[in-house]
Amino acid sequence: MYRSDFSLFPNIGTDGEYDFISQTIKINKISSADEFRVSSRVEDIKLLVHEITHYRDNVSSLRGIDLLVLNYNAIHSRESNDTELFFNIKKLYKEILRMKFSKYFTVINQSRNDDVSNRWNYKITTGYRFDNDGRLDKKSPIMFINFYTNANEFIARVPLSFESIVESRAMYNEFMIDMAHISSLNDEEQIVERGLLQRYYEKLIYNTDVIVYYVNARFVANVLGFSDILQAFQFSSLIGFLCLNMPIECYKKLRIPSILQNEAKPYFIKNSDISFLFACITYNIQNFQNIHDQIINDNLIETILEKSNLPKISELKKLIVKEVNDRAKTQIDGKYKDRCDNHIEEYIKHIKNMNFSKDFSYFNNFRETYEMFMEKSDVASLDVAPIIFGNDEDTKACEFYKSILSIERRMKEFSDACGI
């Protein structure tokens, strides 16, 4: 089956993927929904939850809704055959490039697979994108995390980005499914399995092959001094959630920690750079007393927001709804506008009633989620997301997926024809 050329959600492996152009999940390693129903493998459930998290970040976050509107405006522009509207296609692809960095910007100096006995040090630095002529663009800065051995040998340089934020969130949800599985075992088995799980993730975060999946959690652990891997992923997911739902106007009031005060700061703010926001929020709670002992609740989230000079939750919700409604007004009419409208309406309803501390991961009860999938329910009937299993092409989700990607081919043809 044809596969999208564009993805903001990294697909390093081939077992599963999320395509944001069609808002469709593809589970390649499982041939059909029937096979999933008879499977009781925890790894399959983790894979599905990982991709569902990407889907929810796309259709149930402020930045995701921004992308959704740009996406459907590009699709409707191409379908209209009105060349006066084709600039919307380039607008979408420019935003993709702004949110997702090419492989050039990630440097792996040493391929390593260490563990906690060989801890890595880190340093945050600023770099720059290149303009269309190949020159450094000082108005487009990048936030990098550089990793070093204890002997100060350079290991890797990885950009903080939209994609690293959503991957850290998906990895946290995978971790929690593991924990839900362990909680279903007897007491003796739980002790053994928790130890094995902790060691597995401790080793994972020292593996350069999957560095984009955990760079944000590693950054949070280093800055806040977390030794508990689960806690690092949990706070990374929470901070990522706040960043994905932060209204543009809030960037102007953001408190900038001294370590991030440099010549690039005004452009990070002007560009509403989500990675800069993530770094600021993390550094601003660095000296929060007893941060390691804090339970995530609304009071803690209010404190996190306050320390970065960001609005209270109640005010934040109002600003989010206002920005979403403003974004909705920029839509172009077309065949799939109702689909985009439905996502916007659902998001507004969701954010108004949302309990940030319970719902930031979308799965407020991982044990129930785990049991729901373990019961081998009909995944399609759960209405969690459009899902295509393996080569199963006889579904509405697959039919929509193929129709959207045929439009995307023509969008890319136009994009390739632009400029010299």
Instruction: Provide the pLDDT for residue 383.
Output: 61
Q: Is 140 helix (H, G, I), strand (E, B) or coil?
A: strand
**Distances in whole angstroms, Cα of residue 299 to Cα of each of 244, 296, 307, 395:** 20, 8, 12, 45
Separation of alpha carbons 253 and 94, rounded Å: 26
Instruction: Provide the pLDDT for residue 386.
Output: 83
Separation of alpha carbons 398 and 184, rounded Å: 35
The terminus-to-terminus CA distance of the chain in angstroms comes to 31
**Distances in whole angstroms, Cα of residue 293 to Cα of each of 175, 288, 296:** 20, 11, 10
Q: 309-346 burial string, b = 16+ CB within 10 Å, else e?
A: ebbebeebbebbbebbeebeeebbebebeeebeebbee
Separation of alpha carbons 136 and 119, rounded Å: 33
Note whether 9 and 244 are within 8 A (CB).
no
| Residue 103: CB atoms within 10 Å | 7
Q: Read off φ and ψ for residue 157, nearest 5 degrees.
A: -130, 125
Listed residue (240, 247, 244, 243) closest to 215, CA to CA: 240
Instruction: State the DSSP H helix or E strand holding residue 156, giving kind and residue range, or none if neither.
Output: strand 154-159
Ranges of the chain whose pLDDT falls below 50: 1-3
| Residue 264: CB atoms within 10 Å | 21
Instruction: Provide the pLDDT for residue 1.
Output: 38
Strands laid side by side in the 136-148 sheet: 107-108, 154-159, 136-148, 121-130
Separation of alpha carbons 216 and 235, rounded Å: 10
Q: Longest Cα pair distance anywhere in the chain, in angstroms? A: 67
Task: Give the chain's count of helices (H) and strands (E).
Answer: 17, 7
Instruction: Provide the pLDDT for residue 112.
Output: 83
Note whether 158 and 144 are within 8 A (CB).
yes
Listed residue (219, 224, 229) closest to 116, CA to CA: 229
Fill in the DSSP letter of residue 61.
Answer: S
In single-letter form, the type of residue at position 283 comes to Y
What's the helix, strand, coil split of the chain in %, to 5? 60, 10, 30
Separation of alpha carbons 218 and 231, rounded Å: 11
* The dihedral sign for the CA sequence 208, 211, 214, 216: positive
Which residues, including other chains, have CB under 8 Å from residue 273's CB and lie 6 or more apart?
Answer: 141, 143, 267
CA atoms within a 13 Å half-sphere pointing along the CA-CB vector of 63: 24
Separation of alpha carbons 300 and 322, rounded Å: 25
Instruction: Provide the pLDDT for residue 3.
Output: 45
DSSP 209-240: GGHHHHHHHHHHHHHHT---HHHHHHHHHHHH
Q: Which residues are paired to 130 by β-bridges?
A: 136
In single-letter form, the type of residue at position 403 comes to S
Packing angle between helix 211-224 and helix 229-244, nearest 10 degrees? 100
